[in-house]
Amino acid sequence: MTDHAAAGAAQQSAPRDFTSRDMLVIGILLISTFVVILNETIMSVALPRLMDALGASASAVQWLTTAFLLTMAVTIPVTGFLIQRANTRPLFILAMSLFSAGTLAAALAPGLEFLIVARIVQALGTAIMFPLLMTTVMTLVPPHRRGPMMGNISLVISVAPAIGPAISGIILNYLSWRWMFGLILPIALLALWIGGRRMLNVTTPRFAPVDFLSVPISALAFGGLVYGLSSFGEPARAAANTLGFAAIGVGAVAMAAFIWRQLALQKTDRPLLDLRTFASKNFSISVTMMAISMMALFGVVILLPIYMQNVLGFDTLRTGLLLLPGGLLMGLLGPIVGRLYDRFGPAPLIVPGSIVVSAVLWAMTLLGPDTFWVNILIGHLAISVGLAFLFTPLFTVSLSSVKPELYSHGSALLGSIQQVAGAAGVALFVAIMSARSAAAIAAGADPVRALSGGITGAFTIGAMISLMAIIAALFIRRAPDQEPAMAEPPASPGPAGTA
C-alpha cells in the first residue's frame, strides 16, 4: 500500500463518535438517493402511454429504460475514484444538479430523442448517489450501529424501485406522462437546496491515481453486458437478437480484460475498482445473493404489471394500487430488520428470507387468467417481506466485511453488480415470457392464455434460480467487526469494514 493509501486508511479507521451532524448528512443522502433511484423503474408501466403520446415503436420507447440502466452501469465503476478524490458536499451537489437538470428536461421534452437524453442525464446523477451514500455511511457509522442504518438504506435501494411502477400507474391514471417528472422535480430541487446549505464534508480527499485505460474498458464491460441483457428485455425482439448477443460477447471479453487490468494495477495500488474486496468470503457470497435478489425484484416488478394489465385486464391505477402495499411494507420492515440484525446476526434473517422469496416465486408459477386478485396481493406482500429480510442483512454484512480503505471500491462494485443483475433479471424474465407466449400462439393458443403461460414459465426459471440463494445463505456469517447490540461498542473499528 502506498503512503497516500495508508494515510487514507488510517484516517478512515480512526475512532470517532457518531454525531447529530453525521445523522444530518446521512439523512440528506438517504432522501436524495430515494428520489433518484425511484426513477429507475418509474417508466415500467408508462411505456404504452409514451408510445401513443410520442408516436414511437415499442423498441424505440424501450430505450428510455435501457439508456438509464446503461448509463448507470458505465458510470458507477468510476465513482469509486471520484469519492476518493473529492469532498462529500461538491459530489452531492454535482449528483443532484445533474439529476434535477435531467428531470426538468424530461418534463419538458418535445420528443422521444430529447427524453432519452434527459434520462441519461438523470442516470449520471443517480450513479453518483448510491456509492456516495454507502461510502459515507460506512465511514461515519460505528460497526455496532450499522444494522438499523442499513435498514434505512435497504428502504431506499429496494423500496424505491419496487414502488416506482405503483406511483407511475397512479399518476398516469389522472395526469399526463410529463407529471411523472414534474412531481419529482420539486422534491429533487428541495433536496439540492437543503443539501447545498446543510451538507458537510465528512471525509478527507486523498490522492487516488486514475488509470485512463481502465475507464473505456469498464465502459465496454459493464455497458456491453447491460445493453445486451436489456435488449433481450424487449418483447418484440426477445427470441433472437443478434445485436444483443454481440454486445454480451463484447462485454464479456472487455470484462475479462478489465479484471486482468485491475489485478495488475492492485500491485501498485492504482486500480479503478479494487477487486481485493472479493478476498472476503462474506462479501463474495453476499454480493452473489444480492445479485439473485435483485434479479427476482426487477423480474417481479416488470412481469406483475404486464400480467395484471394484459392478462387480468387491470388499468394502470388498479395495478399501481395493488403493488403499492408490498413496496410500503418492505420500507417499514427495513429499520426493524436492521435492529434484528444487530441482535441476532445475518443467518436467522437471510435463511428464512431466501426461503420465503423462493416459495413465492414457485407460487407465482400457478398464476393464470382466472387468478383472484387477492392471491396476487398476498403473494406480493409475502415476497416483499422476504426481500426485506434479505436486503438489509446483505448490505450490512457485505459492506462490513472488507477493509476500511476499500469502502468506496466495495460500494461501487456493489452498485455495478446490482445494475447488471437488475438488467439480467428483466432480460431473463421478459425473454422467457416472450419466447413461450410466441410459441404458444404459433401453436394456436389464445393470446391471453399464451401470455399467461409465458409469464408463469418465466417465474419458473426465477424460482429455480432462487434455490441457489437459499444454499448461499447457509454460508454467510456476521462480519468480524460487528458485535451484537447488547455488547459494549468497540474502542475502534476492527480490521474489516464495509465496501
Q: What would the mean pLDDT of 252-278 be, rounded to a whole number?
A: 83
Q: Phi and psi (nearest 5°) for 176?
A: -70, 160
Residue 226 has pLDDT above 70, yes or no: yes
pLDDT tier at 356 (50, 70, 90 boundaries)? very high
Helices (H) and strands (E) in the chain, counts: 19, 0
Please provide the average confidence, as pLDDT, over all residues in the chain: 77
**b/e per residue 38-69 (b: at least 16 CB within 10 A):** bbbbbbbbbbebbbeebebeeebbbbbbbbbb
Pair 375, 470: CB distance under 8 Å:
no
Measure the CA–CA gap between 407 and 172, rounded to whole angstroms.
40
Q: Which pLDDT score is estimated for 17?
A: 56
Pair 105, 114: CB distance under 8 Å:
yes
* CA angle 182–184–189, rounded 5-degree value: 100
134, three cell numbers: 454507502
498, three cell numbers: 464495509
Pair 22, 197: CB distance under 8 Å:
no
pLDDT tier at 239 (50, 70, 90 boundaries)? very low
Count of C-beta atoms within a 10 Å radius of residue 175: 12
Q: What would the mean pLDDT of 434-450 be, rounded to a whole number?
A: 84
- Which range has the top average pLDDT, 193-202, 233-242, 380-389, 419-428? 380-389
pTM: 0.71
- Dihedral angle over CA of 409, 412, 418, 419, nearest 10: -140
CA-to-CA dists, residue 284 to 38, 42, 86, 269, angstroms: 27, 30, 28, 21
Q: Write the DSSP symbol of residue 402.
A: B
pLDDT digits (tens, 9 = 90+) for 323-354: 778 877 877 787 788 788 878 888 889 999 99
pLDDT digits (tens, 9 = 90+) for 53-63: 787 766 677 67
Measure the CA–CA gap between 228 and 245, rounded to whole angstroms.
6
- Which range has the top average pLDDT, 6-15, 369-378, 401-410? 369-378
| Mean pLDDT lowest among 4-8, 66-70, 337-341 | 4-8
* Homologous superfamily assigned to 12-473: MFS general substrate transporter like domains (1.20.1250.20)
Name the residue with cell 411502477. 165
Pair 274, 461: CB distance under 8 Å:
no
* CA angle 129–132–133, rounded 5-degree value: 85
Q: Phi and psi (nearest 5°) for 497?
A: -135, -160
pLDDT tier at 204 (50, 70, 90 boundaries)? low
DSSP codes joined into one string, 414-456: HHHHHHHHHHHHHHHHHHHHHHHHHHHHHTT--HHHHHHHHHH
Residue 178 has pLDDT above 80, yes or no: yes
Residues linked to residue 497 through DSSP beta bridges, in sequence order: 402
Q: Is 10 exposed, middle or buried (0-12, 13-18, 19+ CB in 10 A)?
A: exposed
Q: Which pLDDT score is estimated for 146?
A: 67
